[in-house]
Structure 1
Amino acid sequence: MASVRGYVKANLLLTSVNGVSLLCLLAGLSPVQAIPAGNEAQYNTETLKLAEKISDVKTKDSYKASNDDYKFFSTNEKLIASIDVRTKQDSLIVNEKQQSTELVLNISDDSSPQNTSGSSRLSSGANTIAQVTSVSQLSDVQPTDWAFQALQSLVERYGCIAGYPNSTYRGNRAMTRYEFAAGLNACLDRVNELIATATAELVTKQDLATLQKLQEEFAAELATLRGRVDALEARTAELEANQFSTTTKLNGEVIISAIGATGGASGRDDPNIILTNRVRLNLNTSFTGKDLLITGLQAYNFLGGVDGSGSLQESLGLASPILSASSARTSFEPQFPGVDPKTLSGISANSLQLYKLLYIFPVADKLTLFAGTAAEVSDAFPTITPFYGEGQEAISRFASLNPVVRVSGGTSGSGLASAAGFIFQISKQLDLRALYGSVNANIPQRAADIQPGVSGTPLGSGVFGGSSVVAAQLTFRPSSSIDIGLNYANSYHDINILGTGLTSSDIGSLVGPGLDLGIPVKLNSVGGTVTWRFSPKIAFSGYGAAFFVNDSSGAVDASTTFTSWMAGIHFNDLFHQGNNAGIIFGQPLYRSDADGQAQLAPDGANRAVPYHLEAYYRFRVNDNLSITPGAFVLFNPESDSNNDTTTVGVLRTTFTF
Structure 2
Amino acid sequence: MKLAHQFLACQAVVALLAQTSATNATELSIDRISSYVPLSKDAVSVEQVTSITQFSDVYPTDWAYQALSNLIERYGCVAGYPNGTYRGNRAMTRFEAAALLNACLDRVTEVTDELKRLMKEFEKELAIVKGRVDGLEARVGELEATQFSTTTKLKGKTTFVIGGVNANGDSQNGISFDQVGTGGADAYNEEFGALTFNYNLDLFLDTSFTGKDLLRTKLRAGNFGQSAFGGRGVNLTGLNIAFASEDNVKVDRLFYKFPIGESFTFIAGAKARNTEVLAMWPSVYTKGGATILDYTAVAGVPGVYNKATGQLIGGYWQQKVDKGEPNLNVSINYVTGNKAGSNSNPGEGGFMTENSAANLTAQVGWGNGNYGIAGAYRYGQCDSNFRKGTSFVQNEKYNLKCTTENGERTTRSSNSYALNAYWQPEKSGLIPSISIGWSINTVNGKRIVDGTYTNSQSWFTGLKWEDALMDGNALGIAVGQPTFATALEGSDTAFDGNYIFELYYNFQVTDNIAVAPALFYLSRPMGQNTQNLIDNGAGYDGRFNVFGGLIQTTFKF
Return the TM-score normalized by structure 2.
Answer: 0.68
Residue segments in structure 1 that go unaligned for 5+ positions in a row: 1-9, 11-16, 23-140, 162-200, 304-309, 319-325, 338-346, 448-456, 602-606
Q: How far off its partner does 1:228 sit?
A: 4.3
Helix, strand or coil at the partner of 1:393:
coil
Looking at structure 2, the residues matched to 218 and 434 of structure 1 have their Cα atoms a distance apart, in angstroms, of 66
Looking at structure 1, the residues matched to 392 and 451 of structure 2 have their Cα atoms a distance apart, in angstroms, of 19
Q: How far off its partner does 1:419 sit?
A: 0.6
Are the equivalent residues in 2 in contact too, given 1:572–1:580 (CA < 8 A)?
Answer: yes
RMSD of the alignment, in Å? 3.9
C-alpha distance 317-356 of structure 1, shift in aligned 2 (>3 A): closer
Q: Please list, as runs of the form range in 1=range in 2, the aligned pairs for 1:377-396 lying within 5 A after superposition.
A: 377-381=274-278, 382-388=280-286, 392-396=289-293
Are the equivalent residues in 1 in contact too, given 2:302–2:483 (CA < 8 A)?
Answer: no
Q: How far off its partner does 1:289 sit?
A: 0.7
> 1:330 aligned to 2:239?
yes
In structure 2, the partner of 1:362 is 259
Helix, strand or coil at the partner of 1:378:
helix
C-alpha distance 203-359 of structure 1, shift in aligned 2 (>3 A): farther
Residue segments in structure 2 that go unaligned for 5+ positions in a row: 11-50, 55-59, 76-100, 169-183, 322-326, 405-409, 531-540
User: What do residues 293-313 of structure 1 show as CA deviations (whole Å, max 9, x unaligned)?
Assistant: 11100100111xxxxxx3427
Are the equivalent residues in 1 in contact too, given 2:346–2:353 (CA < 8 A)?
Answer: no
Looking at structure 2, the residues matched to 463 and 284 of structure 1 have their Cα atoms a distance apart, in angstroms, of 28
Are the equivalent residues in 2 in contact too, given 1:404–1:488 (CA < 8 A)?
Answer: no
Helix, strand or coil at the partner of 1:238:
helix
User: What do residues 342-382 of structure 1 show as CA deviations (whole Å, max 9, x unaligned)?
Assistant: xxxxx5x1101000111110111111111101111111122
User: What do residues 62-111 of structure 1 show as CA deviations (whole Å, max 9, x unaligned)?
Assistant: xxxxxxxxxxxxxxxxxxxxxxxxxxxxxxxxxxxxxxxxxxxxxxxxxx
Letter in 2 for 1:622: T
C-alpha distance 576-472 of structure 1, shift in aligned 2 (>3 A): same
Helix, strand or coil at the partner of 1:218:
helix
In structure 2, the partner of 1:471 is 361
User: What do residues 164-216 of structure 1 show as CA deviations (whole Å, max 9, x unaligned)?
Assistant: xxxxxxxxxxxxxxxxxxxxxxxxxxxxxxxxxxxxx7994314422331232
Q: How far off its partner does 1:396 sit?
A: 0.9
In structure 1, the partner of 2:316 is 423
Are the equivalent residues in 2 in contact too, given 1:284–1:295 (CA < 8 A)?
Answer: yes
Are the equivalent residues in 2 in contact too, given 1:530–1:543 (CA < 8 A)?
Answer: yes
Looking at structure 2, the residues matched to 298 and 158 of structure 1 have their Cα atoms a distance apart, in angstroms, of 70
Find the partner of 2:162 among 258, 266, 275.
258
C-alpha distance 315-248 of structure 1, shift in aligned 2 (>3 A): closer
> Rg larger in 1 or in 2?
2
C-alpha distance 330-437 of structure 1, shift in aligned 2 (>3 A): same
Are the equivalent residues in 1 in contact too, given 2:52–2:68 (CA < 8 A)?
Answer: no
Looking at structure 1, the residues matched to 254 and 262 of structure 2 have their Cα atoms a distance apart, in angstroms, of 24
User: What do residues 466-494 of structure 1 show as CA deviations (whole Å, max 9, x unaligned)?
Assistant: 211111111111x763211111111212x
User: What do residues 571-629 of structure 1 show as CA deviations (whole Å, max 9, x unaligned)?
Assistant: 1010111101111111111101123x46655xxxxx34210111000000000100000
Find the partner of 1:441 among 341, 349, 367.
341
Are the equivalent residues in 2 in contact too, given 1:637–1:645 (CA < 8 A)?
Answer: yes
C-alpha distance 555-250 of structure 1, shift in aligned 2 (>3 A): same
Helix, strand or coil at the partner of 1:219:
helix
Are the equivalent residues in 1 in contact too, given 2:229–2:239 (CA < 8 A)?
Answer: no
Return the TM-score normalized by structure 1.
Answer: 0.58
Looking at structure 2, the residues matched to 484 and 315 of structure 1 have their Cα atoms a distance apart, in angstroms, of 30
> 1:371 aligned to 2:293?
no
Letter in 2 for 1:239: L
In structure 2, the partner of 1:284 is 206
Find the partner of 1:573 among 455, 467, 470.
467
Looking at structure 2, the residues matched to 209 and 314 of structure 1 have their Cα atoms a distance apart, in angstroms, of 79
Q: How far off its partner does 1:528 sit?
A: 1.1
Find the partner of 2:143 among 239, 250, 257.
239
Helix, strand or coil at the partner of 1:637:
coil
Letter in 2 for 1:295: T
Find the partner of 1:547 among 441, 455, 460.
441
Residues paired across the two proteins, number = 428
Letter in 1 for 2:387: T
C-alpha distance 442-262 of structure 1, shift in aligned 2 (>3 A): same
In structure 2, the partner of 1:170 is none
Identical counterparts, % of pairs:
24
Letter in 2 for 1:301: N
Q: How far off its partner does 1:291 sit?
A: 0.6
Looking at structure 2, the residues matched to 377 and 534 of structure 1 have their Cα atoms a distance apart, in angstroms, of 29
> 1:216 aligned to 2:109?
no
Q: Please list, as runs of the form range in 1=range in 2, the aligned pairs for 1:294-333 lying within 5 A after superposition.
A: 294-303=216-225, 310-312=226-228, 317-318=233-234, 326-333=235-242
Are the equivalent residues in 2 in contact too, given 1:404–1:487 (CA < 8 A)?
Answer: no
Question: Which structure 1 residue ranges, 4+ long, deviate > 4 Å from structure 2?
Answer: 141-144, 151-161, 201-204, 225-228, 313-317, 403-407, 514-520, 552-559, 598-601
C-alpha distance 533-143 of structure 1, shift in aligned 2 (>3 A): farther
Q: How far off its partner does 1:232 sit?
A: 3.6
Letter in 2 for 1:652: Q
